[in-house]
Amino acid sequence: MTSEYEMSFNDYLAIIKHHALLLILSFVVILGVGIAVAISLPPTYESSGTILVESQQISPDLVAANNNTFADERIEVIRQRVMTREHLEGIIDKYNLFASQSRQLSVSEKIEEMRNAIVVSLVSAAVKGRGEVTIAFRLSFEHRQPEIANKVANELVTLFLDENIKQRTERASETTEFLTQEADKLRVELETLENRLADFKQAHSNALPEHQELRMNMLSRAETELKEVDRDYKTAREELRFNELELSAANAGLATKPGTPGAAVDKPQDLASLKAEYIRLQSLYTQAHPDVRAVKRKIAALEAGKGAGGGAASVNLDVAKAQTRISAAEARIKSLADQKQQILGKIAEYEAQILETPQVERGLVTVMRDHDNARKKYEEIRTKEMGAKISESLEQENKAERFVLLESPLMPEKPVRPNRKKVVAMGFLLAPVGAGALVMLLEMMSQRVRGAQALASVLGRRVLVSIPYIHTKAELARRRKWRMLLIVCGVAIIAIFLVLLHFLYMPLDLLMFKALGRFA
C-alpha cells in the first residue's frame, strides 16, 4: 500500500472488528497484570514523630546564646551523627531488620537500606525580618511491619533528642575549657608585661614622663637657689675684703678714722657718731649690707672696750675681732661655694633627666601599649569565659534552645506505599493504550489491501465493480457468539471495576450517597 492512500474511518472500524479478540485479550491481560501488581506489592508502613525546635527560655538580652548556628544546620549535623554505621547497625541487630528479604543482604546493604528508609523533613515558617525559619522537623521510618516501623521511629527520635543534648553540652563545655585555657595564657602574658613595666619604671625612675613637670619645678627652684647662693657668695667676698682691711689697720695699731685709707668711707669714730651713722645706713641698706654690719661691729667694739684703759689692748682686741670675722667670712665663703657646687650638680642632673625623658617616654609607650593590649585581651577573654560558663549552665539545666518532642511516633494504621489505587488506575490507562499499540504494530507489519479505494490506489486504475463479502450462517452464528462473549467480558470488567472501587477507594454505598448529595 502506497502512502497516497489515506485510511478512512471505515477502515479503522474494519481493523478494530478484525482484531477485536486481540484487543479484548490484550486489554484484559494488561489490566489483570496491573491489578495483580497492585495486589501483590508488599505494603510499606511509615511511623513519624515531630520534634519542635524550642527557642531559649531566658531572654537573649540577659544571657547570650552559646550556639548561634541555624536550626537546619544543627539538625543536619545531628542527622549525620545519628545515622552513623555504629548506630544503624545497632538498631538493625536489635530489631532484626531486613531479615525477611528474598535475598541475603550484606551489612553495608542493610545500612544503606536503613538510611533510605529514614526521612528527615524540615518544617519552616515565615518570620518577619528573618525570612523562612525552621521551627520543627519530622522524623519518619518506613518498614513493611507497622510494629517495627513504630519501634524504630521511637528509637530514632530518642537518639535525635539525646544527641542534641550531648552535642550542645559538649560544645558548651569545650568552649568554656578553651576560653579558660586562653585566659590563663593571657594572664601569664599580662603578668610578664606587668613585671617588665615595673622593671622599666624602676630602671628609669628619675626620667619618667609623669615626673617631668616636677623635675622642671625642681630645676627652676635650684636655679633660684643658685642665684641666691651666688648673691650671698659675692656679699661674703666683699665682707672678707673689708675684714682684711680692718685686720691690716689693727695690725698697724691704727684706729679706723675718717679719711684713713682702708675704710670704705670716712666715718666718725666716737660712739655717738657711730650710732648716728648706723641709723643713717639702716635707712639706706639692709642689715646684711657690709657697711651696716661694719658700723655695727665698731659700735659693739667701742661699747665693749670702754674702761679697758690701754691702746695696745684695744689694738689687740681689734686684731682678734678682725681675724675672727675673717675666719667666719672664709668659712661662709667655703660653705657657699660647696653649696653652689651641689646646686650646680643638681641642675646638671635635672637637665640630664629632662633630656633623657623623651627617649624613656618612647620606650615606656611601647611597654604600656603592649601591656594595655594584653590587659584588654585578658578582660575580653574573661568576659567571654563568663558568658560561656553561663551558657554551659543553661545547657546543663536545659534552659537554652532545645528539641522538644511535639508528637511521638504512633502505630501506623495504613500503609503509605504502594498506592494501589494509582496502580490500578495506571492499569486502566495502559490497557487500552497497550492493546491499541499491539494492533497498530500488527497492521504496520501487514501488507493487506483494504477496500476498493485502496485497490484503485495500488493499481492506479478505477475499480468498476466490487462484490461485498457474503457471510455464511456459520460465520453469522460465530459472530453472535463473539458478541455475547464481548458482552459477558464487558459485564465482568465492570463488575471487577466496581469491586476494586469498593475496596480500594470508597464503599459503593458511600460513593452513591456522595454522588446523590452532589445532585441534590
- Give the tens place of pLDDT for each residue, 155-213: 999 999 888 888 878 877 888 888 888 888 988 988 998 888 888 888 877 777 777 78
Query: Which CATH architecture is the domain 45-184+401-407 placed in?
Result: 2-Layer Sandwich (3.30)
Is the model's pLDDT at 308 over the cut of 50? no
pLDDT above 90 covers a percentage of the chain that reads: 5
The identity of residue 390, as a single letter, is: I
Specify the pLDDT at position 267: 43
Specify the pLDDT at position 449: 65
Is the model's pLDDT at 322 over the cut of 50? yes
Distance between CA 38 and CA 54 in Å, rounded?
Answer: 43
Q: Which of 149, 123, 110 is nearest to 417 (CA)?
A: 149
Distance between CA 66 and CA 388 in Å, rounded?
Answer: 7
| DSSP character at residue 61 | T
Distance between CA 150 and CA 163 in Å, rounded?
Answer: 20
| Number of neighbouring beta carbons within 10 Å of residue 452 | 13
| DSSP character at residue 50 | E
Q: What is the mean pLDDT of residues 77-81?
A: 88
The helix or strand, by DSSP H or E, that contains position 263, with its residue range, turns out to be none
The identity of residue 338, as a single letter, is: D
Is the model's pLDDT at 261 over the cut of 50? no
Specify the pLDDT at position 151: 92
Cell of 246: 680692718
Question: What residues have CB less than 8 Å from 451, skipping those under 6 apart?
Answer: 8, 10, 11, 14
Apex 186 CA angle, 185 and 192, nearest 5: 95
488-500 per-position pLDDT tens digit? 877 887 888 788 7
User: Where along the chain do its domains lie?
Assistant: 9-36+420-519, 45-184+401-407, 210-381
Across 299-317, b (16+ Cβ under 10 Å) vs e yields eeebeeeeeeeeeeebbee
Most confident option among 251-260, 369-378, 474-483: 369-378
Q: What is the mean pLDDT of residues 310-325?
A: 64
Q: Which residue has the cell 633630656?
A: 355
Specify the pLDDT at position 255: 45
pLDDT above 70 covers a percentage of the chain that reads: 80
Q: What is the mean pLDDT of residues 335-362?
A: 85
233-245 per-position pLDDT tens digit? 888 888 888 877 7
Is the model's pLDDT at 141 over the cut of 90? yes
Specify the pLDDT at position 305: 59
416-469 per-position pLDDT tens digit? 887 777 887 888 888 888 888 888 887 777 666 666 666 677 676 776 777 776
Specify the pLDDT at position 211: 74
402-407 and 131-143 beta bridge pairing: unpaired
Enter the CATH code of domain 210-381: 1.10.287
Is the model's pLDDT at 125 over the cut of 50? yes
Is the model's pLDDT at 268 over the cut of 80? no
The answer to whether the beta carbons of residues 65 and 56 sit under 8 Å apart is: yes
**DSSP of 389-425, one letter per residue?**
HHHHHHHHTT-SSEEEEEE------S--B--HHHHHH
pTM above 0.75, yes or no: no
